[in-house]
Structure 1
Amino acid sequence: MSNVELVEITTDSPADLIDAWVAVRTAAHAVDEINTALPWRDSNVGGLAHPVPGGVALVFLLRRDGEAVGHARIGMPTQSNTTVGWIALGVVPELRRQGIGRAALDLLFARLRAEGRTRAMSDAALALPDGVQRDEAGAAFLAATGFRQVGSEVRRDIDLSTVDVDVETRLHEAALAKAGEDYEVVRFTEPAPEEYLGDLAVMNGRLSEDTAGYIENWEPAPFDTDKIIAYQDAAAARLFRRHHVAVRHKPSGHLVAWSFLAVVAEDGRHADHEITVVIPEHRGHRLGVLVKTGLHRYARETEPNLRWIQTWNAAENGHMIAINEELGFEPIETYAEYAKDL
């Protein structure tokens, strides 16, 4: 299938190429994703202009004999895991099992080698015993092409329209009482107040250290205030509205617990619950419950059309899983991470 080619997509690409790239992403999304926001055009184009900091991203349209048949992306970390290239690949559903994916993967491997990367990584969905029925073709494809599983996370969703608000309120008030007078809740929508940036960098670094252990041979990434600002700029370019709830420790003046979610402005109904972290010295005060219940309350105020929130947890993170299930999150599927030495 040597007539498959990678056409790199940038902000300077002609509009028809960008339109084709968004169209094939949308077509693949329809069968590969379960109840998530669509890959909206303006959000994706914004991402081309403002890549996520700490790495380099290359985005491609797949073409066969001039026809758009899929999409691909390579993410290459630059501050840690600098031998890794992260691959995302999708083929238009009606053209699958024709060798397009394998041909594209060979081209992506060659590009990674040319960039000096020696380890390819990717992920794929797996069904849970009590979860949603799931096509596991992506995982089978990775296994067949030499990848091996090196980690996994379980996705959980909550439907805000079905939540018992009285129960949530009781959980929030009980957590607030457990925290005591030394802690107070703060809320903000990006951009974050300047006085919080340093603490957000510390908590991002803490989370990076915690989660690195869940994936084989994965290194934590460094964070500073400049990187936090760059993340905010990249999110704004993608038309994300990001809402935060944190807990401030009054005696020290520092934020010591934090949670936030991101809503794509073009959608408004779906949110990714991206981070929840509590500094170790302040664990045991129900601060995790406090920020998560507070975030749901804040989301209802700021996002009236929001209905679904999704989050991910490694199986080893039993404490956070327990909190999510207490709030009403239900398991949907597993996302497994895979690696292959190049």
Structure 2
Amino acid sequence: MVDIEQINPRNEAALRAWWEVGRAATAYRPGKPWPVWEQSRVALPADNPERGITLIGAIDGREMVGAGLLTRSLRDNLHTAMAFAYTRPDRVREGIGRRLVEELEVVAAGDGRTTVQSEAYLPPGGSGVPEAFATAMGYAVASRESIKELTLTDYLARREALAASAPVPDGYRVITFDTVCPDEHLDSFGRLLGMLLAEVPLGELDLEDSEWSAERIREAERRQVAIGRHVQTAMALAPDGSVAGASDVRVDDSDPAHGQVGITLVDPVHRGRRLGLALKVATHDLAVATYPELVSVDTSNAEVNTWMNAVNDALGYRTIETLLELQKTL
């Protein structure tokens, strides 16, 4: 008989069993779909002022055959939660995934969340079992994104031409830093971060704008430092000294061969100057210089975001998956 139980992330043996299920369930996907063990071992039990998590496992006797994760913001969008369910490949089609999702929805509802969001990954432009399962569970597609991967050899082959095509505009400066924003730019950076959800294409996702105070930024930075995650950031400064845009590549100490783009955002007032491409080149240069062993970087963008997709294509990113952003009202 399979039982659904909550997993304590500070119980390392239980966490490792949970992690193994997720790794096995995502092994068929291209790219880097699952974090290395050390990254999960450090990050999941760590205190997080931004996000609450619940881990659940499907237990059959002494074996974990399914794993679930519920995350929810603790600062904004308090009506939403994100749910993820994974079934060990040798135990699919036994109803384990359904039971995991149902339990995650119960936890979300108990926490006062009324909208649950999730993700399904498919071959580029294709369809498959994850989409059918989501539909059967009552989840609608709210947005479509492309998962893209860049090999650093491809980037380095293009780098000089890219830099020449997108010089920093007259009167602007680009600065870089590792995770911790300089004090003098902190308030202006918070203003930019507060624009993010209003400026990126969300489709039908039920998400609201957020506010980023100086203290909130510093709390997030402290957590990144504590778990060994480096947010290699490039920031564009306008002629008046305000933050005009920012982009980052995130690399964990536990996995220095792989990076992930976090955000890329240019204030609408400063668009039309190719700042986005200039910032991307600066972040990728910083990541390459800091991590000689870096092999690849991945990112995702809404399919309708033609501007950012064009920037990523110019950098050498190639689409490896289609991501369906899913949503259900409880």
The answer, yes or no, to whether TM exceeds 0.5 is yes
Q: How far off is 1:50 after superposition? A: 3.1
Report the AA paired with residue 79 of structure 2: T
The answer to whether structure 1 residue 149 and structure 2 residue 121 are counterparts is no
1:212–1:223 distance in 2 versus 1, CA, 3 Å: farther
The answer to whether structure 1 residue 319 and structure 2 residue 311 are counterparts is no
Q: CA offsets per residue over residues 255-303 of structure 1, 9 Å max, x none? A: 2111101112222111111111111111111111111111222221111
Asked if the contact 1:45/1:238 (under 8 Å) is kept, the reply is no
Instruction: Please show how residues 195-214 of structure 1 align to structure 2 within 5 Å.
Output: 195-211=184-200, 213-214=202-203
Report the 3-state secondary structure (helix = DSSP H, G, I; strand = E; otherwise coil) of the residue aligned with 1:275. Answer: strand
Q: Matched residues, percent identical? A: 25
Report the 3-state secondary structure (helix = DSSP H, G, I; strand = E; otherwise coil) of the residue aligned with 2:284. Answer: helix
Q: Which moved more, 1:235-244 or 1:282-291?
A: 235-244
Report the 3-state secondary structure (helix = DSSP H, G, I; strand = E; otherwise coil) of the residue aligned with 1:163. Answer: helix
Structure 2 counterpart of 1:29, from 26, 30, 37: 26
Report the AA paired with residue 249 of structure 2: L
Equivalent residue number for residue 103 of structure 2 = 107
Structure 2 unaligned spans of 5+? none
Q: How far off is 1:37 after superposition? A: 6.3
Asked if the contact 1:212/1:219 (under 8 Å) is kept, the reply is no
Asked if the contact 1:215/1:337 (under 8 Å) is kept, the reply is no
Equivalent residue number for residue 155 of structure 2 = 163
Asked if the contact 2:67/2:87 (under 8 Å) is kept, the reply is yes
Q: How far off is 1:112 after superposition? A: 1.9
Partners in 2 of 1:258 and 1:168 — Cα distance? 19
Q: How far off is 1:340 after superposition? A: 1.7
Report the AA paired with residue 55 of structure 1: R
Asked if the contact 1:6/1:104 (under 8 Å) is kept, the reply is no
Partners in 1 of 2:5 and 2:160 — Cα distance? 51
Q: CA offsets per residue over residues 167-190 of structure 1, 9 Å max, x none? A: 42232133226x11x111211112
Instruction: Please show how residues 244-259 of structure 1 align to structure 2 within 5 Å.
Output: 244-249=233-238, 251-259=239-247
Instruction: Please show how residues 25-104 of structure 1 align to structure 2 within 5 Å.
Output: 25-31=22-28, 33-36=29-32, 38-104=34-100
Q: CA offsets per residue over residues 144-187 of structure 1, 9 Å max, x none? A: 1111111121111111112353x42232133226x11x111211
Report the AA paired with residue 149 of structure 2: D
Equivalent residue number for residue 279 of structure 2 = 291
Equivalent residue number for residue 140 of structure 1 = 132
Equivalent residue number for residue 4 of structure 1 = 3
1:269–1:18 distance in 2 versus 1, CA, 3 Å: same
Q: Which moved more, 1:92-101 or 1:106-115?
A: 106-115
Q: CA offsets per residue over residues 48-99 of structure 1, 9 Å max, x none? A: 3435543322122331234211211111223333222210111111111111
Report the 3-state secondary structure (helix = DSSP H, G, I; strand = E; otherwise coil) of the residue aligned with 1:272. Answer: strand
1:214–1:228 distance in 2 versus 1, CA, 3 Å: farther
Report the AA paired with residue 163 of structure 2: H
Report the AA paired with residue 123 of structure 1: E
1:216–1:163 distance in 2 versus 1, CA, 3 Å: closer
1:327–1:19 distance in 2 versus 1, CA, 3 Å: closer
Report the AA paired with residue 70 of structure 1: G
Structure 2 counterpart of 1:241, from 226, 230, 248: 230
Instruction: Please show how residues 255-294 of structure 1 align to structure 2 within 5 Å.
Output: 255-294=243-282
Asked if the contact 1:127/1:135 (under 8 Å) is kept, the reply is yes
Structure 1 unaligned spans of 5+? none
Partners in 2 of 1:49 and 1:101 — Cα distance? 24
**For the aligned residues, what is the CA RMSD?**
2.1
1:76–1:163 distance in 2 versus 1, CA, 3 Å: closer
Partners in 1 of 2:207 and 2:274 — Cα distance? 29
Partners in 2 of 1:104 and 1:121 — Cα distance? 14
Equivalent residue number for residue 16 of structure 2 = 19
Q: How far off is 1:126 after superposition? A: 2.2
Partners in 2 of 1:22 and 1:237 — Cα distance? 21
